[in-house]
Amino acid sequence: MPDPYQPPGTPRRPLRQTLGLLARFGVISVVLAGTAGGFAYAGGWLSPDRLTPARIVDALSQRGGDPTGYRRNHAKGICFTGAFEANGQGAHLSTARVFVAGPYPVIGRFATATGDPRSPDAVNRVRSLAIRIATPDGQEWRSGMNSSPVFAVATPQAFYEQAVATRIDPATGRPDPAALQRFAAAHPETAAFAQWARSAPWTASFADQTYNSLNAFRFVDLQGVRHAVRWSLLPTVPATPSTPEELARLGPDFLAQDLERRLAEGPLSWRLVVTLAAAGDPVDDPTRAWPADRQQIEVGTLVVQQAESEDGGPCRDLNFDPLVLPTGIEPSADPILLARSAAYANSFDRRAAEVGATPMPHAGDQP
């Protein structure tokens, strides 16, 4: 096509100009491709091996049953409401409003650590308690605590491998025992957890269990000093040891039934005890317990007043993300703790989109 800016008689643009033009188009292409490529890299599309929240939650979703509409871990649970009554002692360790003496409303959830929302209670070793405490300054403290004294693994990668090892083999309908053995052999850090799982007594109740933060956190006091801590909820009712065989005879949902029975008689309470790390204690490894003689401070009481089915209950649409913390409490560098927040958000995204997709079972339903 003739160029109208060129005088007549020079129908073709000199070669140098054409090359220059090509080079400038080249620059534009490189800039655009580089920007798009950088975006793809940031989003993980170029690194399929990256351990993402989605990969972890995919693996958690394949451990039996249909978790559609439910949490992808600790899938089976029951909501409760109650209060945290602070005694004021925590205020020496942390500026968080929640430690100023007084009652604060709580929404919480008891659960069993399973991927299957219909799993029978007698097969699940780990039980959990999650709370959201709201304070008048508009801040919140969310915490998910487990009944084991230590966690099984120390890294998100190991957690992922564990989830994959407990994946249901479609051929047998159960996890592959060889995969589980291979996982245990490759992960000696699971020994303390496995020892607890083998030897700790089973009970028929959520009410008699201790629930532990496992991950370490930091309390920041008025002077700005940071204290490495873990916390536990200690039960106030005695435990009655049982066996999985005996428990299986109680039916699939004995934990929720026991809780409702007890609460019909009156509130249940737990003492919230904060343990302070000493220099050298592991603050980034939840597989290692701290020595038993560490200083402990009781900072208040959790009072559980009323239980409610998860179906439409107040806890269903909450994400007990352990990094929802008030000022005065900070996360530690524990990689498990930091991974939890990302994975919980992904699980929440999925189940929020699935609300109403499947009917939620009622506590009394028989499978």
Partner 1 sequence: MSRSTEGFGALARVLHWLMAAMVLAMLFIGVGMVTTVSGRYEWLVGIHKPLGIAILLLVLLRLGNRLRQPAPALPADMPGWQKLAAKGSHILLYVLMAVMPLLGWAMLSAGGYPIVLYGPIHLPPIAPHDAPLYALLHGAHVVLAYLLFATFLAHLGAALVHALIRRDGVFASMAPWPQRQVVPAPITPVGTSRQARAR
Interface with partner 1 (CB under 8 A), residue from 355, 362, 364, 365? 355
Residue 259 C-beta: closest distance to ligand HEM, Å: 14
**Has 74 been annotated as catalytic?**
yes
Contact call for residue 257 and ligand HEM (CB under 6 A): no
Using CA atoms, how far apart are residues 107 and 306, in angstroms rounded to an integer? 10
Interface with partner 1 (CB under 8 A), residue from 232, 300, 351, 361? 351
3-state secondary structure the chain: CCCCCCCCCCCCCCHHHHHHHHHHHHHHHHHHHHHHHHHHHHCCCCCCCCCCHHHHHHHHCCCCCCCCCCCCCCCEEEEEEEEEEECCHHHHCCCCHHHCCEEEEEEEEEEECCCCCCCCHHHCCCEEEEEEEECCCCCEEEEEEECCCCCCCCCHHHHHHHHHHCCEECCCCEECHHHHHHHHHHCHHHHHHHHHHHHCCECCCCCCCCEECCCCEEEECCCCCEEEEEEEEEECCCCCCECHHHHHCCCCCHHHHHHHHHHHHCCEEEEEEEEECCCCCCCCCCCCCCCCCCCEEEEEEEEEEEEECCCCCCCCCCCCCCCCCCCCEEECCCHHHHHHHHHHHHHHHHHHHHCCCCCCCCCCCCC
Using CA atoms, how far apart are residues 193 and 250, in angstroms rounded to an integer? 26
Contact call for residue 8 and partner 1 (CB under 8 A): no
Contact call for residue 282 and partner 1 (CB under 8 A): no
Question: Which residues ranging from 96 to 155 are in contact with ligand HEM (CB under 6 A)?
Answer: 109, 111, 128, 130, 144-146, 151
Contact call for residue 4 and partner 1 (CB under 8 A): yes
Question: Which residues ranging from 314 to 343 are in contact with ligand HEM (CB under 6 A)?
Answer: 319-320, 336, 339-340, 343
Residue 116 C-beta: closest distance to partner 1, Å: 21
Contact call for residue 127 and partner 1 (CB under 8 A): no
From residue 78 to residue 97, the character string flagging contacts with partner 1 as x (rule: CB under 8 A) and all else as - is --------------------
- Choose the catalytic residue: 74, 92, 227, 362: 74
User: Cα-Cα-Cα-Cα dihedral of 120, 121, 127, 130, to 10°?
Assistant: 70
Using CA atoms, how far apart are residues 142 and 327, in angstroms rounded to an integer? 12
Contact call for residue 71 and ligand HEM (CB under 6 A): yes
Residue 316 C-beta: closest distance to ligand HEM, Å: 9
Beta carbon nearer to ligand HEM, 71 or 167? 71
Contact call for residue 318 and partner 1 (CB under 8 A): yes
Residue 278 C-beta: closest distance to ligand HEM, Å: 21
Residue 2 C-beta: closest distance to ligand HEM, Å: 29
Bridge partners of 200, per DSSP, are none
Question: Which residues ranging from 280 to 309 are in contact with ligand HEM (CB under 6 A)?
Answer: 286
User: For binding to ligand HEM (CB under 6 A), which residues are involved?
Assistant: 56-57, 60, 71-74, 77, 109, 111, 128, 130, 144-146, 151, 156, 159, 213-215, 286, 319-320, 336, 339-340, 343-345, 347-349, 351
Active site residues: 74
Give the binding site for partner 1 (CB under 8 A).
Answer: 1, 3-5, 13, 17, 20-21, 24-25, 27-28, 31-32, 35-36, 38-39, 42-44, 50-54, 56, 137-140, 156, 316-319, 321, 323-324, 326-327, 331, 333, 335, 338-339, 341-343, 345-346, 348-349, 351-353, 355-356
